[in-house]
């Protein structure tokens, strides 16, 4: 392949430290979400993108939602690009999933979440990405 020993060492070191720091980054994101959501009305939510999502990984986003405490909902994407919380994935876009669960309860996916996605944090960001329900 023509890779020198020093290039291989650099790649190994970068991968090693990336794996070490990823849990810290994820925890920081989670802590920031908790700070933004704590004390907000039930149904207040935000969407986090999973960083460095490798090819073939199906867990692409997490919805953090406040319902008396912070809860997390993993969002998956299948090989056809459809989104959902569990198979079968029926939403063509993340926007469709969010808009659907702003009208339907999350309870069928999580018995501890008898609420809807009601109050987005960062609605301006959502509206900039075409989330019509949240446009101002």
Per-10-residue mean pLDDT, the chain, length 136: 58 48 47 85 87 71 90 88 86 89 91 90 53 42
Predicted confidence at residue 87, as pLDDT, reads 82
Query: CA torsion angle for 57, 54, 131, 38 (degrees, to 10)?
Result: 90
Predicted confidence at residue 26, as pLDDT, reads 41
Q: Number of H helices and number of E strands within the chain?
A: 3, 5
Predicted confidence at residue 9, as pLDDT, reads 54
Predicted confidence at residue 108, as pLDDT, reads 87
């Amino acid at each position: 392949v023509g890779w020198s020993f020093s290039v291989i060492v650099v790649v190994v070191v970068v991968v090693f430290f990336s794996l070490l720091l990823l849990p810290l980054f994820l925890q920081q994101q989670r802590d920031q979400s908790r700070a933004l959501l704590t004390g907000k009305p039930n149904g207040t939510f935000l969407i986090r993108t999973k960083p460095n999502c490798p090819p073939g990984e199906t867990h692409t986003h997490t919805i953090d939602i406040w319902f008396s405490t912070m809860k997390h909902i993993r969002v998956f994407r299948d090989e056809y690009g459809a989104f959902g919380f569990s198979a079968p994935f029926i939403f063509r876009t993340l926007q469709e999933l969010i808009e659907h669960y702003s009208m339907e309860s999350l309870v069928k996916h999580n018995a501890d979440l008898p609420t809807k996605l009601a109050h987005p944090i960062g609605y301006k960001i959502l509206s900039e990405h075409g989330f019509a329900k949240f446009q101002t």
